Amino acid sequence: MINPLGKIESGIKICAQMSPEASEADFQFVLQMGIRHAVLWIDAPNASSIYYQHQKDRFAEYGIEVFGLGNLNVHNQDAIVLNLENRDKKIEEYKQHLWNLGKAGIPYTTYAHMGNGIWSTGQKTLRGGASARTFDLNQAESGHWNGQTFSMPLSHTREYSQEEIWDNYIYFIKQVAPVAEEAGVLIGIHPDDPPVPYLAGIPRCIFSSFEGYRRALEIADSPNVGICFCVGCWLEGGELMGMDILDSIRYFADREKIFKVHFRNVDQPLPHFTETFVDNGYMDMYQVMKVLHQYEFKGVVIPDHIPTMGSNNQVGTAYTIAYMKAMYERAMAESAN
């Protein structure tokens, strides 16, 4: 098989997540930070190759390459994870999303396989009054995704088995992987957030551990199926992940299975964590950037779940991206010596 990463230029790409309807001021802000790559998210009404192509061309006018585009309506779908009545319809929508990306020449999309959304238990105040998401397993009441709420004790009226979750993943990936290959699109699978073994009747038994990922990628058996490596989720899991974060990056990067990285720190692992600044968690994030550079990672690295700073979101984004760029510059300089 042809390596799909072969068409992507070498070097880590510090990237911004942007609105597909970015304003002139948005473009100016990103360009002032020296960013030349973006990832976008759209919803169902804009899921067409014409829209994808239009946005790609519009961003290109500003010198920004759209590396990835996600469709909220086919991402993180309980119908796919749990084999609900509209599963096949959602899978067909996902295939069409891949075809649309391929036709527009956008090389990447993120997928998540959580049956009942992303869970939080509130916001916590950080240094200087900044605010960030927190999660306490002992206080968990509900998860959310794209307007849906999933509540304890059973988010979908019954308990599901690990075997069901695996069978449903296999059913999905065996259909979409060949389409991704033919369309020339990379699928990066995001970890469960939080990566606990079980929530509200739904096992999180695949994308919540090193071994789950290893087996899932082996089943997919496709150069186009890999990982959206969320550093924050891996740190949330801690020992539950089954392998140290740096060793996990080494393992998957060596096999060219990491396509995108979410750069986020947390204060401590489960059962209770709070997201925090990249320079203020329990992980030395420079070590993450250093290993990515050592293994010649050439996908994108984006700031993720940025703590709220100041009066608008641009403050936190600028702080985080500047920190990331400095880390990458240091990693390159260190390796050159």
Three-state secondary structure string covering the chain: CCCHHHHCCCCCEECEEECCCCCHHHHHHHHHCCCCEEEEEECHHHCCHHHHHHHHHHHHCCCCEEEEEEECCCCCCHHHHHCCCCHHHHHHHHHHHHHHHHHHCCCEEEEECCCCCEECCEEEECHHHCEEEEEEHHHCCEEEECCEEEECCCCCCCCCCHHHHHHHHHHHHHHHHHHHHHHCCEEEEECCCCCCCEECCEECCCCCCHHHHHHHHHHHCCCCEEEEEEHHHHHHHHHHHCCCHHHHHHHHHHCCCEEEEEECEECCCCCEEEEECCCCCCCCHHHHHHHHHHCCCCCEEEECCCCECCCCHHHHHHHHHHHHHHHHHHHHHHHHC
Rounded to two decimals, the pTM is 0.96
pLDDT of residue 288: 98
pLDDT the model gives residue 44: 84
Please provide the average confidence, as pLDDT, over all residues in the chain.
96
Residue 306 is predicted with a pLDDT of: 95
pLDDT greater than 80 at residue 26: yes
pLDDT of res. 4? 64
The tens digit of pLDDT for each residue in 115-166 reads 999 999 999 999 999 999 999 999 999 999 999 999 999 999 999 999 999 9
Cα four-point dihedral sign 192, 195, 198, 199:
negative
Task: Give which of 84, 152, 143 is closest to 116, Cα–Cα.
Answer: 143
Q: How confident is the model at residue 215 (pLDDT cuts 50, 70, 90)?
A: very high
Question: Between 2 and 198, where is the model more confident?
Answer: 198
Q: Which fold has domain 4-336?
A: TIM Barrel (3.20.20)
What would the mean pLDDT of 28-55 be, rounded to a whole number?
A: 96
Residue 3 is predicted with a pLDDT of 57
Given this model, what pLDDT does residue 17 score?
Answer: 97
Mean pLDDT, residues 37-45 taken together: 94
Which range (55-59, 179-183, 185-189, 333-337) has the least confidence? 333-337
pLDDT in tens, 289-323: 999 999 999 999 999 999 999 888 899 999 999 99
Give percent of the chain with pLDDT exceeding 90: 94
Mean pLDDT of 255-276: 98
Task: With cut-offs at 50, 70 and 90, classify the pLDDT of residue 60.
Answer: very high
From 151, 16, 145, 137, select the one nearest 75 (Cα to Cα).
145
Q: In angstroms, how far is CA 308 from the centroid of its own chain?
A: 20
Q: How far apart are CA 283 and CA 303, in angstroms?
A: 15
Residue 68: pLDDT band (50, 70, 90) is very high
Q: 86 is written with which tokens?
A: 């509209």
* pLDDT score, position 336: 84
Read off the pLDDT of each residue in 256-262 and give the average, rounded to a whole number: 98
Q: Calculate the alpha carbon distances from 269 to 46, 233, 264, 275, 283 in Å.
A: 37, 9, 13, 10, 10
